[in-house]
Structure 1
Amino acid sequence: MFISILANMSILLVSLYGYLSYYANYGKFHSFFKANETVINSVFVTIVGTLLLYFAIVIDGARYDLRFLLLAFTVKYFGSKVGVISATSLMFVRLLWGGDHHIFIAITYSLMLVIMLPLLKIYVGKIKSDVMQLLILNYCCLAIGNFLNVIIFHNLLIDIQIYGFLYVISTIMIFIFYFMINDIRRMQKQSSHDYLTKMKNWSEFQNKIDMLVKKEKAFSLAILDIDYFKMFNDSFNHLVGDLVLLEVGKVFLSFETHQINCYRIGGEEFAFTFEQTEFRDVEKELEKIRQTVQKININTLLSNEEIKEVTVSIGATHVSTFSNVDNFMLRADEALYKAKESGRNRVVVSV
């Protein structure tokens, strides 16, 4: 029994790590993955569930494994739709193991999960704690199988031993996996976000540009630079400079949406990408950003009247052809240079 449980634990651990690594390093930038995310995730969960079933504890023909824990994580992180598809697929996989007298309970268990998982997702969605959500999903998925075994086979003594062990093991694994997921996400965010402004960094900017170019979908690009930023560091100190960056970063992040992304790509240099947005609307949005930055009152934060205002110069261009990848970056930089040459604190567009 212990060997089977260890095998199940190892399968879940390796699968979780493999999926997170793939998604972090490649999947999130792959258009095919995004377009077929539900199908791919369902296939992935079904394969993992099949492996868990293969290494299940077999007692008098009944198979005990950690599929319930897999489905709990599936509903939490992939959604109830993937959970239902996976539970249905695993029901058919279970049928391949033969039609013994336990097949009825296996089918009934799967059907009950198909019905219950969407309802459980709605219920746990009201709970703020991720750990509590996982625990409730886990216990409910496990309790359904536990209940069916008791009322159909009346093996109370065996169920107390096996299910008691499964409750304990799954609880421990939830905490291990939860902290592992959070650690991986934290490290991923540290590597992809600027530590000071919390904005996405140069690497993420390059990944976004590469993806947009590969998809050959029209988008707009803006390069922004804080005016006279060197003065903040030289005339005051680096703490004041960091405060300016922080406040400007907050403004930029407030404009971020699903189609609009902002990045810190250098010391005082930033970038915006606009997808599925008309260029005239991009110009209006950039003007709003410029005006909002100008409203930042650094003096109230510093108790210092020497800093009159913070402003940004912005160069923007629209990208619709992809024969020369570097060309649109150069156009945005040239537009930024013209904005600075013509007095700063303005938006200049290169067409």
Structure 2
Amino acid sequence: MIQSILSNLAIILLGHLTMSTLMSFREHFSKRQISLCIILLFSGVIIAMFYLPIQFGSYRLDLRLIPLIFLALLRGWKITLPVLTIVSFWRFFMGGDGAIPGIIFGMILPTLFTLSFYKPDKARSHLIGRMILISVCWFISDFPIIFILPNGLEIFMDIFWIRYLSFLGTAVIFYLFILLEHKREALKQQLEFLACHDPLTKLLNKNKFTQLVEESLLEVNKTHSISMIDIDHFKQLNDKYGHIAGDQVLMMLARIFKKYENENIKIARYGGEEFILYQRTACFEEAKKLIEEIQNEIRTTLFKIDKNQSIKVSVSIGLAEIEKNTKLEEAIKLADRNLYKAKENGRNQLVVL
């Protein structure tokens, strides 16, 4: 019996390992392909357990419900219902006296009950809440033993503790593995974000910005432009209000930039108080108009540097079009020259030459 329980647990954890490996390469597949793989994987895991039953005297069962519960909790009905349909038909065609009760009470009712608790933004709740839900599902699946089998109450009481503890223990182990995988994935995403973004402003860093812009430049039927943006008198601001206030200004400025960022507009922190902005537009005049709009919003925004004080900030901007057969580096140099002309001419202005 213990060996059969461990075999069921091994199948569940092998399925989890396969799932984790699949998700590590998900960028190579479409969402539809990923969903299909998950459906086939979980169906295979559950069907495999049909053939490795746990024997309690003359009563045979397995832990098929555990992956169904977690699939319902973490993936919702779009993935769970196809899996439930596949394994229910498979179990039906396997036949046997307990097929119908096993399908209805052992899979369908507990899974539908679990799906009623599915919330995409709260897929990972506290362990105690999960264990209560799993206990209810176990009760739904095993309680009919009392009414279906001869001497059902006696059988139920005989197997109660070992059945419940094996079910709950396996569920806890599986859940802990899921939590570890979520933490690993969260750490991976955090590291990937830090590798591509400035840690203070959360804007793109120069390397990622350059990569994205060079990819975008391959579209030849659009106008491409670069803007260099510099905060006016930023050193004096730091000297007067402190570097923490300077950081607050940089972060607020980044939030303004982020409102404009989309697939055609990329913005990065270039260094210090300097930012770089790329646009892919229908014409150069459209690019100039957007830059003027951003500059005007910065002029009219009060930058809060502490609880009781806000200040005005302005920026100088140099704008340059990326001509055909012109390297990105050359366009940046031209935009940078225009920026310095804006600063020489009194700052708080846009220069386009």
Does TM, scored on the shorter chain, surpass 0.5? yes
For residue 13 of structure 2, what is the aligned residue in structure 1? Answer: 9
Which of 255, 258, 262 is the aligned partner of 1:253? 258
Q: Does 1:52 align with 2:53?
A: no
- Answer whether contact 1:41 1:82 (CA < 8 A) is retained: no
Which of 286, 291, 296 is the aligned partner of 1:286? 291
For residue 209 of structure 2, what is the aligned residue in structure 1? Answer: 205
TM-superposed deviation, 1:291: 1.7
TM-score under structure 2 length normalisation: 0.66
With over 3 angstroms needed to count, the CA separation of the structure-2 counterparts of 1:9 and 1:73, relative to structure 1, is farther
TM-superposed deviation, 1:3: 4.5
Query: Deviation string for 1:125-152 (max 9, x for gaps)?
Result: 5xx6553289868865885575244326
Which of 135, 140, 150 is the aligned partner of 1:147? 140
For residue 131 of structure 1, what is the aligned residue in structure 2? Answer: 124
CA distance in 1, matches of 2:223, 2:107: 46
Q: Does 1:22 align with 2:25?
A: yes
- Answer whether contact 1:222 1:271 (CA < 8 A) is retained: yes
Task: Look up the SS of the partner of 1:131 in the other structure.
Answer: coil
TM-superposed deviation, 1:163: 2.8
- Answer whether contact 1:261 1:274 (CA < 8 A) is retained: yes
Which of 179, 195, 214 is the aligned partner of 2:199? 195
Which of 73, 78, 82 is the aligned partner of 1:81? 78
- Answer whether contact 1:12 1:70 (CA < 8 A) is retained: no
Any gaps of 5 or more consecutive residues in structure 1?
Answer: none
Task: Look up the SS of the partner of 1:64 in the other structure.
Answer: coil
With over 3 angstroms needed to count, the CA separation of the structure-2 counterparts of 1:273 and 1:111, relative to structure 1, is farther
CA distance in 1, matches of 2:91, 2:219: 42
Q: How does 1:1-351 map to 2 (within 5 A)?
A: 1-13=5-17, 15-16=19-20, 18-23=21-26, 27=27, 33=29, 36-37=30-31, 39-50=32-43, 52-53=45-46, 56=49, 58-59=53-54, 62-65=61-64, 66-72=66-72, 74-75=74-75, 80-88=77-85, 94=90, 98-101=94-97, 103-104=99-100, 108=104, 119-121=116-118, 124=119, 129-132=122-125, 143-144=136-137, 147-151=140-144, 156=156, 157=159, 159-209=163-213, 212=216, 222-228=226-232, 231-232=235-236, 241-256=246-261, 260-272=265-277, 282-297=287-302, 301=306, 309-315=313-319, 317=321, 327=327, 330-331=330-331, 333-342=333-342, 343=345, 344-347=347-350
Count of residues in Structure 1 that have an aligned counterpart in Structure 2: 326
CA distance in 1, matches of 2:128, 2:103: 24
- Answer whether contact 1:88 1:110 (CA < 8 A) is retained: no
Equivalent pairs: percent with the same residue? 16
CA distance in 2, matches of 1:218, 1:269: 26
Larger gyration radius, structure 1 or structure 2: 2
With over 3 angstroms needed to count, the CA separation of the structure-2 counterparts of 1:196 and 1:71, relative to structure 1, is same
- Answer whether contact 1:43 1:86 (CA < 8 A) is retained: no
Task: Look up the SS of the partner of 2:319 in the other structure.
Answer: strand
Query: Deviation string for 1:12-67 (max 9, x for gaps)?
Result: 14532x345435xxx2xx6xx4xx31x12212312431453366352256442442
CA distance in 2, matches of 1:278, 1:139: 61
Task: Compare 328-337 and 107-116 and name the one that shifted more.
Answer: 107-116
TM-superposed deviation, 1:194: 1.6
AA partner of residue 43 (structure 1): L
CA distance in 2, matches of 1:135, 1:58: 28
CA distance in 2, matches of 1:211, 1:164: 51
Task: Look up the SS of the partner of 2:228 in the other structure.
Answer: strand
TM-score under structure 1 length normalisation: 0.67
With over 3 angstroms needed to count, the CA separation of the structure-2 counterparts of 1:308 and 1:148, relative to structure 1, is closer
CA distance in 1, matches of 2:103, 2:71: 16
- Answer whether contact 2:224 2:321 (CA < 8 A) is retained: yes
